Structures are given as C-alpha cells and as structure tokens.
Amino acid sequence: MPRRSPLVIGHRGAPGYRPEHSRSSYELALAMGVDAVEPDIVATKDGMLVVRHENEISGTTDVADHPEFADRKTTKRVDGQALTGWFTEDFTWDEIATLRTTERIPAVRAASATFNGGQGVLRLTDVLDIVRDASAEHGREIGVVLEIKHATYFAGIGLDLVPMIVRDLQAAGWAEGELPLIIEAFEPTVLAQLRDRDIPASYIYLIEASGRPYDQLVAHGKAAATYKATVTPQGLDALVGEVDGISVNKRMLLAKGNTIVADAHARGLKVFTWTARPENSFLAAEFRGDGGKSAFGDYESEWTVLADSGIDGVFVDHPDLGVAFFRS
C-alpha cells in the first residue's frame, strides 16, 4: 500500500536547532518523530568513517582552536574544487575524537551556535547505534539514510570507502536488512559497488541542480551526462534497474512545468528532495518574508509545492516542522 505522506528525514539530525551531526542533533530529530535520519560520511587516515558534512572540517568543528593541529591546515582539490582548511583524512580517529562540534551557519542559526563546543564528533557506528536504541525507546521503526561523500576522491588517495561502509554496517548490525537502510550518493559508481556487495538497502542517486557527477567527469570528461540530463525521460530510463530512486535539489521541483516526479514514478523510481528549510536564507525568492535571513518566511507555501508534486521523501532541518507539515 503506498504511503500517503513522504518519509520525513532528519537532515544531519535536527540542524535547525543543534550543530549538525552532533549527538544532540540526532537525538532531538528522533524524539521529534522523523522516519529516518541522514548521516554524511567521510574517512580518517586510519580508515574510520566519521560523520561530517564534508572532509574539510573547519566550519563544523573547533579544529582551528587546537594549536597542536595548526600545521595540518592546507589547500587541496576535492572533486575539482580548491579548498583550504583541515581535512579528516589528515587525522587519526583518536585525534578527531579530541575535537568538538560547532554550528556551520551561526549567522542564520545563532541559537544552535550556543551549543558549540559541548559535543564530540560521531562515527558512523555511533549514529547507527543511536538510531537502533531510539527505535526501541520510541517503539517504532526508524531508518538511516547514509550519504557517501567524495568516494572517488577518497579512493584516489588510497581510502576506499566501500569496504569501510560494509565493515561498519556489519559491525553495527545494519547489513542484514533487519533495519531500514537507504544509501545515497552524488556518484553512481559507489552505489553500484555497494549493490555488488549485496548490502540490502534502497539505493538513491543524488541529483544536483547543475553540474556533473565527479566520478563520471573523471571517467568520461565533458562527455559525462549532466545531472539535468539524468532527470529527463531518457536519463531516467537509464537508471531503471541501477538504482531505486533519485533525490533531487528542491529547486528542480520548484521549477514551473517540471515533470520529474511523474516521469520517475512512471519508471518505478522513487523521488526524494532536499532540503526543506523554513528560513528566508534558504527559501525560493517568492516565498521569502521580512526579518532577514534567519527569520522564517512563507515556508509552508514552498513546502506545499514539494508535497503536491508527489515526492516519496523529504529532508528537513527542523524535524518538528517537517513532521507537522508533511504528515498533515
């Protein structure tokens, strides 16, 4: 029987209220009733999967305040983009464990920033344990949407994420299909590699509003299909049997006249979207209100467009608002 409302997924926990990917961010999202939470994973140099939005961590931890790590600051090219800062692959897990989480966008989320410095960085296994325990505590099945970050980049520096993911899913009891697991990535190669490992999960291809997936750009150059081409009927045809669905930047669904959801559903593919946020800073221009970037605009009107499109899942930063709206 089809769901009457989309899956409501706590995007990095509940980052509208707590620093993203912190323990309290996840625990708050789970208490607020989400169907699943979404950890992003990157690797340390000793092969530990840690939960951070990016491998460059100066914006989400206090690493810059640690004089013992001052000499680790560097510039790298990640997926073709130059970045300067501190990178997880230059630290051991024991070193990462000394850091504390911070709010990534304090100018927009000042209240969340008051929790800076109080919590450590989590490993993937930590989040898997938190979700399992919460499922038992709250008496309902809660899933994990595991996002793999920069798989081609990490493989290129000798850190293949695939065996690490398999190892951690097995260690935490998430590799047998007993608990709901979705695996997503902006790069289709790593999704195919995990499918080949027979990890029981739903596999979702993340789609940006522009550009090309980095693994395909490395393999095929400018002949690689763009993300936009992937959501055309012909592009979706090529995904049938390869993935279970797509997760698109919400801008693509807000564009007038798009038929992405209907086209995907006609091919048996699910459609998720990201990220439903209420602040003016993140709303499409026509839904912004007064009060500056951090004030809530007319988010309900924007979210109505997303809900009416027939999506199967939605990522939210404020789980209480997301649950209240998308389940109404």
Residue spans of alpha helices (H) in the chain: 23-31, 93-96, 110-113, 124-138, 151-156, 161-171, 188-196, 214-220, 227-230, 233-239, 250-254, 260-266, 299-308, 319-326
* Section 64-74 average pLDDT: 98
- Compute the distance between CA of residue 33 and CA of residue 103 in angstroms, rounded to an integer: 23
Contact 276, 316 (CB under 8 A): yes
The predicted-structure confidence for 176-233, as pLDDT tens digits, reads as follows: 988 899 999 999 999 999 999 999 999 999 999 999 999 999 999 999 999 999 999 9
pLDDT of the residue at 1:
35
Mean pLDDT of 274-281: 98
- Region 101-118 average pLDDT: 97
When pLDDT is averaged across residues 293-307 and rounded to a whole number, the result is 98
Query: Is 2's pLDDT higher than 70?
Result: no
Structural domains of the chain in order of their starting residue, each with its CATH number:
7-55+120-326 (3.20.20.190)
Model confidence pLDDT, tens digit, residues 132-141:
999 999 999 9
The stretch 92-98 carries a mean pLDDT of: 98
The average confidence (pLDDT) of the chain is 97
Average pLDDT over residues 307-325: 98
